[in-house]
Homo-oligomer: A and B are copies of this chain.
Amino acid sequence: MKLNEDQIKEKLVSFDGWAFENSKWIVKKYRFREFMQGIQFVNTVARIAEEQDHHPMISIDFKLVTLKLTSWHASGLTELDFTAAASYDQAHRDSM
């Protein structure tokens, strides 16, 4: 079920570095020391995305990896996007 703007802002309080964009995305940039560390993180994100059957948009600009989440079926953000975001952050902490 699509979350409204108040719900989204309330959720974002407990997230670090995720920004709400264009009324339907949450976006985060992860910076790595080495290009291949970013690639390794992308592989972890891809595995999680397959497990959750929910796929972020991913961009890799050298050592900077950007993840963008939305729920197409809801034309906005749902609980699933925040579950995914939490999983990526956890994976990122685990890799440090």
A-side residues, CB < 8 A to B, are: 35-36, 39, 42-43, 46, 49-50, 55, 57-62
Tell me whether B57 and A61 are in contact (CB under 8 A): yes
- Selected contact of A50 from candidates B35, B50, B55, CB within 8 Å: B35
A46's nearest neighbour on chain B, judged by CB, is B39
Which B residues lie within 8 Å of A43 (CB)?
39, 43
If A35-B46, A55-B62, A57-B60 are given as contacts, then 6 extra A-B residue pairs at C-beta distance below 8 Å, sorted by A number, are A35-B50, A35-B55, A39-B43, A42-B42, A58-B59, A58-B60
A50 to B60, CA, bound (A): 14
Which B residues lie within 8 Å of A39 (CB)?
42-43, 46
